[in-house]
Amino acid sequence: MPGIDPNFMCHKFSIYLEAMPIAQCKRKMGTERKIVVEAELTKLLKAKFIREVQYMTWLENVVMIKRPIGKLRMCTDYTNLTKACPKDTYPLPNIDQLVDVTYQTLMDKIFRHHIDKNMEVYVDNMVVKSGDLVTHTNDLAEVF
């Protein structure tokens, strides 16, 4: 995530030691799809969500999905990689909950000195609380 130090917050996943890396054969795609993929990859590289590697051990192809509005969306088929990863002992039913948990953990870390003192954070809701207007103005300046 841009602006967040990976040492502060980072997702990591495990792979079974005996798992053999799988590199799918590169799929051919049409010009329109290739342009969309290159634009999306450039955006992800610039945001540092992905990085270029010289020797890859795993290669999963992108899949282009046509949205109802006609635009193409780039997705990745992680079927082989998923098979090589141990199941989480605390599985989450869907990605929305995973994002909420990650965001909540990050907010708890960022605002740890303020929570319960002059601030409450719950997922995407933040409330700065104070006893009077002067204190509230100071608390807002301190938090933001």
Q: How many domains does the chain have?
A: 2
pLDDT at 128 over 90: yes
- Please give the Cα distance from 23 to 13 (Å, whole number): 18
Together in a domain, 104 and 74: no
* Residue 21 shares a structural domain with residue 74: yes
Q: How many CA atoms lie within 13 A of 100 on its CB side?
A: 10
pLDDT digits (tens, 9 = 90+) for 39-90: 999 999 988 888 888 888 888 888 899 889 989 999 988 888 889 988 876 6
- Over range 29-35, report the average pLDDT: 90
Does 135 lie in the same domain as 102?
yes
What pLDDT is recorded for position 132?
A: 92
Q: Do 99 and 81 share a structural domain?
A: no
Query: Do residues 23 and 58 lie in contact, with contact meaning Cβ atoms separated by under 8 Å?
Result: yes
Q: Are residues 7 and 77 in the same domain?
A: yes
* 47 in the same domain as 25: yes
Residues 58 and 31 in one domain: yes
Q: Are strands 62-66 and 72-76 parallel, antiparallel or unpaired?
A: antiparallel
Same domain, 15 and 38: yes
Backbone dihedral angles phi then psi of residue 59, each to the nearest 5 degrees: -140, 115
Domain co-membership, 109 together with 81: no
Q: Are residues 1 and 62 in the same domain?
A: yes
